[in-house]
Amino acid sequence: EAGVTQSPTHLIKTRGQQATLRCSPISGHTSVYWYQQALGLGLQFLLWYDEGEERNRGNFPPRFSGRQFPNYSSELNVNALELEDSALYLCASSLVLPAANEQFFGPGTRLTVL
């Protein structure tokens, strides 16, 4: 069974640009989560999507947004990139309740903002 996949592996942008990151969940999983892992820091929760709807959001500015498609894949968009947005962005997926707490992660997209 294929795991969570993310693309691209690496992304280099300049300040002020927009970045789009993509995620495909494990087959059968309907929930997708996005986390930011900055260098030297733990994982910080960004967004949770389920059945195409945003269900919860972490303490990040509105320029971090996303969506979930009918096939449950998801996109994370970061507008007006800032240097401190450089980080590993991890996508995770899960089944619905009661196993929703077990989130399975993809390999991540390394975003570098110059």
Binding residues vs another protein (CB under 8 A): 4, 31, 33, 35, 41-45, 48, 50, 55-56, 58-59, 90, 92, 100-108
- Measured CA to CA, the distance from residue 99 to residue 42 in angstroms comes to 23
Strand partners, 78: 19, 64
Alpha carbon distances (Å) from 72 to 16, 100, 111: 29, 15, 23
At 83, give phi and psi (nearest 5°).
-55, -40
The rounded Cα 55 to chain-centroid distance in angstroms is: 14
